[in-house]
Amino acid sequence: RKLLVIGSGGREHAISKKLLQSPLVERVYCLPGNAGMELDNIQLVKGSETDKQFIIEFCQKKQIDWVFVGPEVPLIDGLVDYLESKGIKVFGPKKHAAIIEGSKDFSKQLMVKYEIPTANYQTFTNRECALDYLATQTLPIVIKADGLAAGKGVVIAQTMDEAKQAIDDNLLNNVFDSEEPKIVIEEFLVGKEFSLLSFVGNSFVYPMVVAKDHKAIFDGDKGPNTGGMGVYSPVPYVTDTIYQEAVSSIVYPTVEAMKAEGRDFQGILYTGLILTNDGPKVIEYNARFGDPETQVLLERLETDLVEVIESIFDDKTIEVSWKKEGFDLGVVVSAKGYPESYEKGKTLNIDTTNKKVSLFFAGVTSKNDSLVSNGGRVFMAESSGATLEEARQKVYGWLSEQPLTDFYYRTDIGK
């Protein structure tokens, strides 16, 4: 097979690498990809992930068998619909299903209608109504922009002033530049979070093993949220019973609800969950693989990823198996200063040929034959161990041997 992956981050590096491991695959292209991927023989394609016409022409010219769309923006923009309309096979949800991530108001309405456990909420477009409602609520309170906001649309307000500011930012100043500014005001839930992703086909669902992502920039989960600074899988506090409950009360009902709405979902359904005293509840849905979860999850997948995806295309079930023993853990190395302002162009002198850790590159480019940083999250070092502590020591042991003074990483992932 010749395959095309759309996207450029660590997630797409992991997907491309896994696809290339399949004996069925001859070549994997990644558009636009990043320079670090070339170390794994992934072929980069210059172009924009939302340039539909260019993607079609590329697929036709290179006789691509199928396309895997990694990020949310092209999914919500309808890339899947467009490619399919031109006869190109593609893995990912159509626009009418990707809305489960694209609109928080949509996803909240869906959960209420189909009794899927989630935080209580109200949606507002009118600032006065939002302020009146706020006055009736207790703190902390969660204010969410309805649409995509690159991880910056959620405010957990500890004071009424912070909450009012978040309402004003959205409904008065439209800081996310949305066509119709809308917010969800949501009850604050207390509990431990985890990510449960599933392969979703027309007549079956394969829930994956669970992962735990650390979004905050500093140790102890302090400081502002980032795209994700570290991750591990499986998650010791998610017992078999909790896992089964999450699958039966959240994952399956969500897939059924989307069908009942005439919005059949095919692709990766990401449920971001929180374990409350009343059981697992939904914090958010994504319509795609998560980054950094993908990097550890695909290391735990034993079945050929190409066979899993093609079983979905063909609507034929297969056995999907996962590593049963041990843990996988990944630590993200970022630019200093991220997620606020940071410098680019720092040379990365790490040992890319080592066998101790797997490397997944994100914000990198090449300059004079070396890799230099080109984004906030630069790369992830990942490894496995019989225990979480062993995996942790392998990754941090390797990181401590690298010249990373120009970079930053958390020191407590999996601790």
Residue whose beta carbon is closest to ligand ATP:
151
Q: Cβ(388)–Cβ(415) under 8 Å?
A: no
Binding mask 103-142 for ligand ATP (x = CB under 6 A): ----------------x----------------------x
At residue 174, the 3 state secondary structure works out as coil
Say if residue 83 is exposed, middle or buried (CB neighbours under 10 Å; 0-12, 13-18, 19+): buried
Nearer to ligand ATP (CB atom), residue 275 or residue 320: 275
The gap from C-alpha 218 to its chain's centroid, in whole angstroms, comes to 20
Residue type, 143: I
Nearer to ligand ATP (CB atom), residue 11 or residue 144: 144
Q: Which of residues 188-247 bind ligand ATP (CB under 6 A)?
A: 188-189, 193, 215
Nearest distance, CB of residue 152 and ligand ATP, angstroms: 7
Place of tokens 């969500």: 254
DSSP per-residue codes, 263-329: ----EEEEEEEEEETTEEEEEEEESS--TTHHHHHHHHB-S-HHHHHHHHHHT------B--SSEEE
Scanning 9-17, 44-52, 152-160, 304-312 for contacts with ligand ATP by CB under 6 A, the matching segment is: 152-160
Nearer to ligand ATP (CB atom), residue 156 or residue 301: 156
Nearest distance, CB of residue 117 and ligand ATP, angstroms: 12
Binding mask 261-300 for ligand ATP (x = CB under 6 A): -----------x----------xx----------------
Using CB under 6 A, pick the residue from 33, 74, 153, 414 that binds ligand ATP: 153
- Sorted by sequence, the CB contacts under 8 Å of residue 341 that are 6+ apart come out as none
Residue type, 59: C
Nearest distance, CB of residue 61 and ligand ATP, angstroms: 34
Q: Which of residues 49-88 bind ligand ATP (CB under 6 A)?
A: none
Q: Regarding beta strands 66-69 and 2-7, do their DSSP bridges make them parallel or antiparallel, or are they unpaired?
A: parallel
Quote the tokens at residue 97: 């299903």
Nearest distance, CB of residue 193 and ligand ATP, angstroms: 6
Q: Which of 339, 342, 278 is nearest to 152 (CA)?
A: 339
Scanning 37-45, 61-69, 150-158, 198-206 for contacts with ligand ATP by CB under 6 A, the matching segment is: 150-158
Binding mask 163-192 for ligand ATP (x = CB under 6 A): -----------------------xxxx---
- 194 phi/psi in degrees, rounded to 5: -155, 160
Residues that bind ligand ATP (CB under 6 A): 119, 142, 144, 151, 153-154, 156, 186-189, 193, 215, 272, 283-284
